[in-house]
Amino acid sequence: MKRFFKPIEKENSPAAKKPCLSPEKRDGDGDGVEEEKNQNEPSKFMTWNANSFLLRVKNDWSQFSKFVSDFDPDVIAIQEVRMPAAGGKGKPKNHEELSDDTKVLREEKQILTRALSSPPFGNYGVWWSLADSKYAGTALLVKKCFKPRKVYFNLDKLASKHEPDGRVILAEFETFRLLNTYSPNNGWKDEENAFQRRRKWDKRIVEFLNKTSDKPLIWCGDLNVSHEEIDVSHPEFFATAKLNGYVPPNKEDCGQPGFTPSERGHFGATIKEGRLVDAYRYLHKEQEMESGFSWSGNPIGKYRGKRMRIDYFLVSEQLKDRIVSCKMHGRGIELEGFHGSDHCPVTLELSKPSSEMEQNQVSN
CA nearest neighbour of 347 among 56, 53, 116, 44: 44
Angle between helix 194-211 and 261-273 (nearest 10): 10
Residues in the chain: 364
80 belongs to an annotated ligand binding site:
yes
Which of the residues 222, 231, 278, 311 is marked catalytic?
222
192 belongs to an annotated ligand binding site:
no
Q: Are 311 and 222 in contact (CB under 8 A)?
A: yes
51 belongs to an annotated ligand binding site:
yes
186 belongs to an annotated ligand binding site:
no
Q: Is 182 a catalytic residue?
A: yes
Three-state DSSP class for residue 159 = coil
Which of the residues 162, 227, 329, 343 is marked catalytic?
343
DSSP-derived pairing of the beta strands 168-172 and 150-152: antiparallel
Three-state DSSP class for residue 56 = helix
Cα separation, 119 vs 183, whole angstroms: 30
Q: Is 222 a catalytic residue?
A: yes
Q: Is 27 a catalytic residue?
A: no
349 belongs to an annotated ligand binding site:
no
343 belongs to an annotated ligand binding site:
yes
Q: Are 101 and 92 in contact (CB under 8 A)?
A: no
Residue 108 CB contacts under 8 Å (≥ 6 apart), including other chains = 54, 83, 98
Q: Sign of the CA dihedral 160, 166, 167, 172?
A: positive
Which of the residues 182, 202, 231, 253 is marked catalytic?
182
Query: Can you say which residues are annotated as belonging to the binding site for Mg(2+)?
Result: 51, 80, 222, 224, 342-343
Catalytic residues: 182, 222, 343
Query: Can you say which residues are annotated as belonging to the binding site?
Result: 51, 80, 222, 224, 342-343
